[in-house]
Amino acid sequence: MSQEPEERKQIAGQTLPSNDVGRQQRPRRRWLSLAIALIAVAALLVSGIWSRVRARTTLKAETAQVALTAVSVVSPKQAAPAQEIILPGNVQPFITAPIYARTNGYLKRWYVDIGARVKQGQLLAVIETPEVDQQLQQARSNLATAKANLELASVTRTRYLGLLKSNAVSQQDADNAVGAYNANKAIVEADQAAVDQYTALVSFEKIYAPFDGIITARNTDIGDLINSGSGNGVKTDLFHIAQPGKLRVYVNVPEEYSRGVKAGTTADLSLAEFPGSTFRGTLVRTADAITVTTRTLLVEIDVDNPTGTLLTGSYAEVHLAVPAQSSTLLLPVNTLLFRSEGLRVGVVKDGKVTLTAVTPGHDFGNQIEIVAGLKTDDQVIINPPDSLITGQQVQIVQATLPGDIK
């Protein structure tokens, strides 16, 4: 009986420690669960805060991006090896001449008017010259008298020379007879020259065409006083004649293109009265000198005009192909900024603007040459705002390639 209580005590002594361990493990489990819960809550809080921070950062970036100035850009285009320049030209007849009177008088009659086609030697007008006619008649009378005196002097000289051989007259008388003959001979020659002069003046009463052509002006009418320009009279042309079968077109080429203009170059002419049509001509000569006042080179272009389609005096646009400089670029004119310090363009690099100075060349209307200041890979802003400054950040919304320039 005594052994059973001892065994129970031993069993009880062995059981008690296990209960103590259980009581010690329960708080640990609670703390572990609490820690896990706290970590989960913290993770949720951090995740939410991070999402908000990231959203706020993204919003700020998007807002800043939207706030940037939106620009379109274009890259310069390399100019063609041969470029066309358009210059004004004056169409003139190949041969033209004013026709003047060579004698004084009154216009008796004219036979042609403006627009008339005439042949060389055709009678154009007749001038009435009563004074010249009278002077011619007087000269002829003087010539007849001089010839009669010369004939008498010739007979007298012959007679005296015959009598001198027989000593019937003195040597002095014979010499006087010879001298009288020579004097009368000189008078005849002088009177003959006067007759020839007045005959020529009378022949000038008739005005003839100097060459085939068209009468482009008539500056006289019947009864007008005609002055040849002698004395203090004012000389005016009676007619103006032009030969339109071949035309000359004179063009002033700017100095910068003068080296590329050579004889034999073809040129196309366009005239307002012939829309859509061109006329081919050939550059035949240049002045080989720059005009100081205009800094241009005068060139002549000949154009065949067999049917007279082109009218002399017309204004023409002359299209010439000249070699372009190797470094010449083309830009639309709406990329230019006119500043007080000079011509500028806005070049975009790494999202920032640099106002770049450029040297312009020829203006082609919607495009302009850029001689210096840019490269073909530069991005130039189209329609830049006046407020654009160097260093300003911009956003490119549409890029135009060089080939897109029209």
Separation of first and last alpha carbons in the chain: 123
- Which pair of tokens denotes residue 42? 């913290």
Closest CA relative to residue 73, chosen from 368, 356, 384: 384
Q: What residue has token string 């379109």?
A: 72
What pLDDT score was predicted for residue 9?
47
Query: One-letter amino acid identity for 157?
Result: R
pLDDT in tens, 339-383: 888 888 889 988 888 888 988 877 778 888 888 888 888 888 888
Q: Where are the domains of the chain?
A: 71-79+327-404, 130-203
Find out whether 267 and 319 touch, Cβ atoms under 8 Å.
yes
DSSP 3-state assignment of 285? Answer: strand
What pLDDT score was predicted for residue 1?
45
Instruction: Please state at what angle helix 130-165 crosses helix 171-203, rounded to 10 degrees.
Output: 160
DSSP 3-state assignment of 376? Answer: coil
Q: How many CB atoms lie within 10 A of CB 211?
A: 14
Q: How many CB atoms lie within 10 A of CB 2?
A: 5
pLDDT confidence tier of residue 2, bands split at 50, 70 and 90: very low
Specify burial of residue 331 (Cβ count, 10 A radius: 0-12, 13-18, 19+). Answer: buried
Distance CA(91)–CA(279), nearest Å, equals 12
Q: Could you tell me how many helices (H) and strands (E) the chain has, helices first?
A: 3, 22
pLDDT in tens, 210-261: 999 999 999 999 999 888 765 555 667 899 999 989 999 999 999 888 888 8
Residue 102 clears pLDDT 50, i.e. is over it:
yes
Distance CA(183)–CA(198), nearest Å, equals 23
Distance CA(163)–CA(308), nearest Å, equals 79
Cα 218 to Cα 116, 119, 158, 235, 238: the distances in Å are: 11, 17, 60, 15, 6
Distance CA(362)–CA(320), nearest Å, equals 14
pLDDT confidence tier of residue 53, bands split at 50, 70 and 90: low
User: What is residue 234's DSSP assignment?
Assistant: P
- Which pair of tokens denotes residue 379? 């991005």
- Which pair of tokens denotes residue 160? 């005296």
Residue 315 clears pLDDT 90, i.e. is over it:
yes
Closest CA relative to residue 68, chosen from 332, 352, 390: 352
Fold classification of 71-79+327-404 is: 2.40.420
DSSP, residue by residue, 161-205:
HHHHHTTSS-HHHHHHHHHHHHHHHHHHHHHHHHHHHHHHHHHTT
Q: What is the 3-state secondary structure (H, E, C) of 309-374?
A: CCCCCCEEEEEEEEECCCCCEEEEHHHEEEECCEEEEEEEECCEEEEEECEEEEECCCEEEEEECC
Sort strands 329-332 and 77-78 into parallel, antiparallel or unpaired. Answer: antiparallel
- Which pair of tokens denotes residue 201? 């003046």
Q: For all residues of the chain together, what is the average pLDDT?
A: 83
Residue 15 clears pLDDT 50, i.e. is over it:
no
pLDDT in tens, 57-101: 665 555 545 557 788 888 888 776 667 888 999 999 999 999 999
What pLDDT score was predicted for residue 319?
93
Q: What is the assigned CATH class of domain 130-203?
A: mainly alpha
Q: Which range, 42-46, 80-84, 183-187, has the best average confidence (pLDDT)?
A: 183-187
DSSP 3-state assignment of 305? Answer: coil
Mean pLDDT of 200-206: 89
Q: How many CB atoms lie within 10 A of CB 34?
A: 10
